[in-house]
Structure 1
Amino acid sequence: MSTRAGSLIFATAFANSLLGGAALANGLGVWDWIAVALLFGIGGLIVFMLWPYHQYTFRFDAEELLHQYVDGDRPATMSAMRRALALRIKADMASNWRIIQRLRVALQIALLFLLFDILAWLLAIAGV
């Protein structure tokens, strides 16, 4: 997701520098303000995608596993360990999927904002 956010940063910067410079040569109009607002919206969504607060779960602590399955009073069988670990992996996948879905929706909204941003700049250049 970080790579896609980086690509979005590049595309946004390229489009806004190319089209924004041409559009702002004629002064500020309604479409210019809309394009700038969309640019800030894209920036906010990119910050949301890149902010390191997401709590992904996909690693096992070896010490915890040994304590839970091996070092206890009654060590678990291999089949019991496999079953418990498989269920834990499934729970981690479900937890991570919710996070990934939110980031994916933010990326999709940011891409729509980019398309509207380009359209707003083009309308500003055309003087509509």
Structure 2
Amino acid sequence: MRTSHYTYPVRLHEEQCRWLETMIHLSSTPAKHYLVARVLLMSDQRQGEPSSTNGQIAEALSISRRTVIRMKQRFVQENLEVALTGNFPREREGSEHAAVVPQRSGATERGWPRTGCMWRPPGGLSHWYTA
């Protein structure tokens, strides 16, 4: 029988383990990073099978089982930094879902509609001002 905690086997290096252990004991650690650190430490398979399944980890940390799986997936497929930030890189080579840069139409080039977040302020000003 195949269980989900074997899908993404987490094997932490000794220095990663120490760093994550330190992180969970610091009061300045963001809650999101704390959760990822706990999930990875509870999922570590350096000494054989992990002691907890994805469901048990999720229940202990009051998060969903799918969140546990996603955190482990990010660590295994990418790296610790991606697991902590919670995002895969936006663009990957060969991805058909790469970020699309919106094209300006003729109407927007003429200034209609114009939004402050898309263009620089007119006349060499450094900020947008409202009248």
What TM-score range do you get, normalising by the shorter chain? Answer: under 0.3
Answer 1 or 2: which has greater helix percent: 1
The structure number with the bigger radius of gyration is 1
TM-score (norm 1): 0.26
**RCO higher in 1 or 2 (8 Å CA, sep ≥ 6)?**
1
